[in-house]
Amino acid sequence: MGMTPTVAIVGRPNVGKSTLFNRLIGERRAIVHDLPGVTRDRITGPCQVDDEKSLILIDTGGLVPGDDPLGLNKQVLQAVEESDLLLLVVDGKSGLAVADERVCHELRSTGKPIVLVVNKGDTTAAKESQYDFYSLGIDRQVLVSAEHNLGLGELRGAMADLVPDFEVPEVPDVPRLAIVGRPNVGKSSLLNRLVGKERVLVSDQPGTTRDPIDTVLELEDGRRYVLVDTAGIRRRGRTADAPEELAVMMARRQIERSDLAIVVVDASQGITSGDLAISGTAWELGKASVIVINKWDLLDEDKRSDLEEGWQRLDEVLAGPPRINISALTGRGVDKIFPEVEQTLERFNTQRGTSELNRIFEGLLRRHRPPAIEGQPWNLMYVTQVKTAPPTFMLFANRQLPHRATYRRYLVNGLRRELGLEGIPIRLVIRKR
Ligand code: GDP
Ligand code: GDP
């Protein structure tokens, strides 16, 4: 199973990190300012490095105030820690600076691969100074101009070469669970509760510092689960002030490698946009989720009603997800998590017979006639389930239904209701016959 690698763009202020970031994610609305430290639009974005490989870029410049001479603070170091490759950006126009050496020293201590990006390569000064930067001791060096789009192809090539190929070995037939959520919601507290009680079979040893470490748990009844990236959860628990966008990106990496997301939210803060973004990611990736509402011990009446109001939105995003109220602090409700996970996985792995499905669709079509598509009636011939996890159904029809069609949504929702698959992302594939 693959995992999208992450690349952090690091360097002292004003070297052109933000310009480079925008260039690499292919957005032209690059907000670049002569005033350093002006707030950026976003700090993470997808970047395609070649036909096959894509990765997630982090602009760490968005994480430092402009007067920080090194551009390294706790948040940046955390982003570096979570990354698989580092782009150290330097300013060729102003030449090698003491701050570059210090940033470089810091980055090398992580042992991660580094590409040295000499920016502002459109200037004569950069062309002349570029070789001075070899004294930093980084072999892979590329001269670019982020602003003028020079050398970016070579940079993409270097990134494609150096980014690791993740093929994480999987434990066969054991469901994989990701404990995810915004910083500070109580993920590591919950993890300790869960792991404290059960037998830990294996905690893989990392091959390298950036390998995710998973833990295999065995419950009393013999069921086994893999908890994905437990080392990361514990580590992040100590630096809990990461910006939300970074937290969502990290959650995505964990969710990609799992079957089910245990999305932890903080009851005392209500449902936030970050909670919705993380839940939406699990949904979009076609994974099951269980929502765990933590810190229940902190609720008073006002907070409780805020929470229930916010819940409506989460309930919509995940089409009726399972929910458990807990306190990782007192242990309340924690026992209910694995039984709920088990039931949710059962529904996620459901396999339905063709006759049942066809009966359900006949009913749905009778209740609401399909609209004409391009002036022709839409006729459904036959439905069958082609895949589980997420449940995927193939509909043979005389023509396509547009993805955004209201009628498609009606069919998906009706099918979910009839099959009792609330909270499960289900997919409809329509084949023209
Ligand atoms: P950051 O603080 O490292 O993110 O730097 P910015 O991306 O905000 O850029 C700082 C300044 O360098 C801005 O004035 C940019 O216009 C300028 N700059 C960025 N890339 C280039 C380049 O390739 N050539 C030149 N000449 N200037 C650039
Ligand atoms: P993480 O960043 O999501 O891993 O969160 P932590 O597990 O590090 O918890 C963040 C803070 O919330 C810590 O101070 C915990 O002691 C506290 N916390 C965690 N669970 C609970 C809970 O159920 N009730 C209360 N009152 N505090 C909690």
Query: Given ligand 2 and candidates 75, 182, 184, 275, which is best to mutate, with the most ligand atoms within 8 Å of its CB?
Result: 184
Could you identify the residue written with the tokens 């300013």? Answer: 91
- Ligand closest to Cα of 78 equals 2
State the pLDDT confidence band at 229, using cuts at 50, 70 and 90.
confident
Section 254-280 average pLDDT: 96
* Three-class secondary structure of residue 145 per DSSP: strand
Q: Quick check: CB of 62 below 6 Å from ligand 1? A: no
Q: List CB contacts of 189: < 8 A, sequence separation 6 or more.
A: 237, 294, 328, 329
Which letter does DSSP use for residue 61 in this model? G
Q: Residue 339: is its pLDDT beyond 90?
A: yes
Pick the residue with more confidence: 400 or 390? 390
- Say which residue the tokens 């070899």 belong to: 134
Q: Is the pLDDT of residue 211 over 80?
A: no
34 lines ligand 1 (CB under 6 A): yes
Residue 377 is predicted with a pLDDT of 86
pTM across the whole model: 0.78
CA nearest neighbour of 368 among 404, 325, 405: 405
Closest ligand 1 atom, residue 38 Cα: 8
Average pLDDT over residues 177-187: 94
Ligand 1 centroid – CA 19 distance (Å): 6
Structure tokens at 212: 């995710």
CB 148 near ligand 1, within 6 Å: yes
Indicate which residue's Cα is closest to atom 2 of ligand 1.
14
Query: In one letter, which amino acid is 222?
Result: G
Give the 3-state secondary structure of residue 13. coil
- The finding on whether 150 has its CB within 6 A of some atom of ligand 2 is no
**CA atoms lying within 13 Å on the CB side of residue 140:** 19
Question: Is the pLDDT score of 2 beyond 80?
Answer: no
pLDDT tens, position by position, 243-264? 778 888 889 989 998 999 999 9
Q: Report how far ligand 1's centroid is from the alpha carbon of 145 (Å).
A: 9
78-82, 168-172, 340-344, 375-379: which range is least confident on average?
168-172
Mean pLDDT of the chain: 88
Query: Does the CB atom of residue 146 touch ligand 1 within 6 A?
Result: yes
Q: What percent of the chain has pLDDT over 70?
A: 89
* Ligand 2 atom with the shortest distance to the CA of 328: 23
Residue 1 has a pLDDT of 43
**The predicted structure's pLDDT at residue 343:** 97
Cβ 333 under 6 angstroms from ligand 2: no
User: Does ligand 1 lie within 6 Å of residue 123's CB atom?
Assistant: yes
Percent of the chain with pLDDT over 90: 64
